[in-house]
A and B are shown apart, each in its own frame.
Chain A
Amino acid sequence: MDWLDASSFRLVENQRTLALTELRLLLRDIVAKSKANDALVLDGQSVQAVILGLLACLDTGQSVFLVRDQAAMPLGAQWQGNQDWQLIAAETANSAPTLWLQTSGTTGLPKWVPHDPRRLCQTISKGVAGKAVWLLTYDPASFAGLQVILSALIGGHTLIYSDIRCQPAALVELALQNRVSHLSGTPTFWRSLLRAADGATLSLQHITLGGELADQPTLDMLSSHFPQARIRHIYATTETGVVFHVQDGLSGFPSSWIDTTLPNDIHLALSERGTLLVSSPRMRIGLDKTVIDTGDVIEIKDERAFFKGRVDSMINIGGQKVFPEEIEAYLLRLPIVVDVRVSSLPSPITGAILIADILPREGHGSAAEMKRAIQEHLKGLPRHARPVLLRFNKELPTLSSNKKARFT
């Protein structure tokens, strides 16, 4: 029970405030119905349920499944109507309580991944003196969502969450009302928030970027909008959890971190194909590997290691390799580009060709003028890396994880 600061934690979910004591009462009712070896299946769409799951794991030693997508329920679980929790007979072989999380299912059906709840807590620091107000922008039952929930729980802070988290304008309003001080989101999320905030003065003190490549233009925009805030970007993998934080305001990380052991005992190296290898003493359970290949391609320039993109998102244009993430970061340097997704179309001549779907900043000239400005900017790239088709959009498709949807 001493793993968290129970007295001062508050959850404000869809405007309803709950203290930890109330959540513990809810859990007691569930535990009373449960038999030995029963695992608890909970609806991961609500923060309340995710916290119940964490308490069940850490305080009552139960294994817990947090459902993000009902298309892939754990074996033996089936919900009817508005049901949002269920007890199922768990495999007895697994004696330590396990927290099962679903992957976001970007490609195909989501998979169930086991985590050791105590290990998840180990990497969380209690945080600063004085109470923080966190706003959760991730799926509550995602790995990133859990980091935020645990940070608020362990530090005894206030945690704000609302189902409207995918509507940036409403989220800005929520952040203003609750004087949110801590906010973590993907770079895609931050760009849409900055656009929605449009001059509103959010009292953010701690800004975290994670889940996607943190590009320099987005970092710069955040530091000029929130000069008082501490800004960091996080690099994490499902297998190892948080690998490192970068706090110097620059994209990428110092290349001196490669081939050394970091203070958190994580070791970084590069594979022959240029991807980042991570070995950690805290690999997630059920993984009998000591090193994982992240699939993130690294480029070293001036003692800085930059993420170029995912090895599986690489596009071959007439024999030349291009990472869409790299082109996106380049296009984001133009102030008229609010956000952009670069993808490929098949080409009978070069195999593939790049196209860019652009979210333009309004009031900066006609579409034709903006197109010309973007084409001029693209001349700074090698020819094969320039998107040949520029399409303007009112919004870009994103996933519920607030990451850019990638498909071709």
Chain B
Amino acid sequence: MSSTIRAHHNMDAQELVLSELQSIRLSKGLAPIHIDDKSILLGGELGLDSLDLATLVVTLEELTGMSPFSAGFVMFKTVGDLSALFSKS
């Protein structure tokens, strides 16, 4: 039972990350593309720079009320890594 709840929350976070990523791309005049868990956030094909990524993180923090970096920096590279940080454990 608990694993299905977790899976559900994971999906919420992932959906949120994906939709915010697409809207950041949209605001930069970039067309929607296929993004999945393995997509690299910085330096990959997403076309994001560090300011975009900082914007994404602060938006996620505002929307979820969570602050996964409050205790210090946590390494993350992919969309999946970031979604996991914003999933309720």
Residues of A within 8 A of B (CB): 317-318, 345-350, 353, 355, 375, 383-384, 388-389
Contacts and interface: CB of A to CB of B under 8 A. Distances in A.
Contacts of B54: 318, 347-350, 353, 388
A389 B51 contact: no
The 3 closest A-B pairs by CB, nearest first: A388-B55, A348-B69, A349-B54
A345 B53 CA distance: 14
A346 B27 CA distance: 23
B66 to A, nearest CB: 13
Contacts of B61: 345
B57 interface: yes
Given A355-B58, A389-B62, A350 B50 contact: yes
Contacts of A375: 27
A345 B57 CA distance: 11
A318 to B, nearest CB: 6
Interface of B: 27, 50-51, 53-55, 57-59, 61-62, 69, 73-74
Contact of A348 (B51, B57, B59, B62): B57
A348 B55 contact: no
B58 A388 contact: yes
Nearest to A320: B51
A208 B59 CA distance: 40
Secondary structure at the B interface, as helix, strand, loop or mixed, is helix
Contacts, number: 37
Contact of A389 (B53, B59, B73): B59
A384 B58 contact: no
Contacts of B50: 318, 349-350
B51 A383 contact: yes
A375 to B, nearest CB: 8
A383 B51 CA distance: 8
A348 B82 CA distance: 12
6 contacts: A346-B69, A347-B54, A349-B53, A383-B51, A388-B51, A389-B58
A388 B59 contact: yes
B6 to A, nearest CB: 24
A388 B74 CA distance: 22
A350 B54 CA distance: 6
Contact of A353 (B27, B58, B73, B74): B58
A83 to B, nearest CB: 45
A332 B78 CA distance: 38
Given A350-B50, A388-B55, 17 more contacts: A318-B51, A318-B54, A346-B69, A347-B57, A347-B58, A349-B50, A349-B53, A350-B51, A350-B54, A353-B54, A353-B55, A355-B58, A383-B51, A388-B54, A388-B58, A388-B59, A389-B58
A64 B88 CA distance: 59
Contacts of B51: 317-318, 350, 383-384, 388
B57 A349 contact: yes
A318 B69 CA distance: 17
